[in-house]
Amino acid sequence: MPTILDVARRAGVSKSLVSMVTRGEGGVSEEKRRAILEAIDELDYRPNAMARGLVQRQTRILGVMISDLQNPFFGAVISGIQERAEERGFRVLITTGDRTPSVEESAMENLLELRVDGLILASPRVGDEAIAHAGRSVPVVVLNRDTNDDSSDSVTNDNIAGARLAVEHLVSFGHRRIAFIEGGVGAGARIRREGYLRAMRDFGLEEEIVTVEGRHTEEGGHQGAMELLKMRVLPTAVFASNDLCAIGAMTAFEEAGLSIPDDLSLVGYDNNRMAALRHISLTTIDQPGGDMGRSAVERLLERIDGDRTEPSHDVVSPSLVVRSTTGPPRFEAKA
């Protein structure tokens, strides 16, 4: 693999000049520049980003840790990140631990060892300590997760408000017995659960609270729904912690012979591409993934450029998207 020295020799100049050319710096005579470009081409030279990064002490790379690449919602987030990063002259490198906490932490370490200039943690299962640790060496923005330590910024959607929107929508149809399928241990999931609980209480439905375990996957939703189906008295509506989970639940309910929304109403969270499909047509809470990705990049760059040292916590508003999985309960609400 050719080095800058090979190029310099071939072009009959010093390394410095080659460096100036690859960095697009001016002040090189047209003649030498041409010779250098030619040598680069002939040798298939490509600057070594590690050597460069080592001396420049920055990489202009933003690291992104995504826990579930199979969830289309994160596809939207990444699009937003990529778009804004590119505008600002940064590259984006993505890593995933495929939902395994230990692998995720090691993947994050990997990014850190590479000395990325900033890190976006999109809803991972990475522990608080690991985040704090990362935050000590590089600007970090976490997505959809509360941060205790104030070393990192966050961009979240208001999960409490979103959950309330879901419950409110169901209540407005006359539902009272509204169950919740949990989203597992991820940070955002816990807050949605909290939002559900609060909303139920606020609507005077404390007695009707039912929660079952689940996860932010179709399988998780399926299992949660099966739990619900075992109950003596079924809920008339179900709020699932995310769309994937809702879709899994939908499958389970329909397999059990229930018709949605006639026998049961269902609401998800995220508004991912699957939810919008005509055949799914899931009523859900929209979180603007692309916007959140773009904001995360902005926050990161402010830190990198040193424009801001105060922690920032962006909260975007979720909104209700009514589709075909919600309607009035089969029997008149008692109240």
Under the binding rule (CB under 7 A), the answer on residue 28 touching DNA is yes
Tell me the closest approach of the beta carbon of residue 113 to its own copies, in angstroms: 4
Residue 185 dihedral angles phi and psi, to the nearest 5°: -90, -10
What pairs with residue 315 in β-bridges? Answer: 156
Site for its own copies in 91-110 (CB under 8 A): 91-96, 98, 103, 107, 109-110
Asked if 103 interacts with DNA (CB under 7 A), we say no
Minimum gap (Å) between residue 130 Cβ and its own copies: 12
Residue 56 touches which member of its own copies, DNA, none, C-beta under 5-8 Å by kind: DNA
List 250, 275, 297, 301, residue binding its own copies (CB under 8 A)? 250
Q: Report the partner that residue 16 touches, choosing among its own copies, DNA, none (CB closer than 5 to 8 A by kind).
A: DNA
**Which is nearer to DNA, 44 or 310 (by Cβ)?**
44
Amino acid at 223: Q
Contact residues for 281 (Cβ-Cβ < 8 A; gap 6+): 275, 323, 324, 325
Closest contact distance (angstroms) between CB of 258 and its own copies is 13
Instruction: Pick the binder of its own copies from 28, 114, 205, 226 (CB under 8 A).
Output: 114
Nearer to DNA, 59 or 159 (CB): 59
Min dist CB 315 to its own copies, Å, is 25
Contacts with its own copies in 128-187 (CB under 8 A)? 133, 136-137
Cα distances (angstroms) measured from residue 126 to each of 71, 77, 102, 109, 193: 18, 18, 8, 11, 19
Min dist CB 206 to its own copies, Å, is 34
Could you say whether residue 54 binds DNA (CB under 7 A)?
Answer: yes
Question: Per rule CB under 7 A, is residue 55 in the interface with DNA?
Answer: yes
Contact footprint for its own copies (CB under 8 A):
1, 44, 46-51, 53-54, 59, 61, 69-72, 74-76, 78-79, 82-83, 86, 91-96, 98, 103, 107, 109-110, 112-115, 133, 136-137, 218, 247, 250-251, 254-255, 273-274, 277-280
Contact footprint for DNA (CB under 7 A):
1, 3-5, 12-20, 22-23, 27-29, 31-32, 45, 47-48, 51-52, 54-57
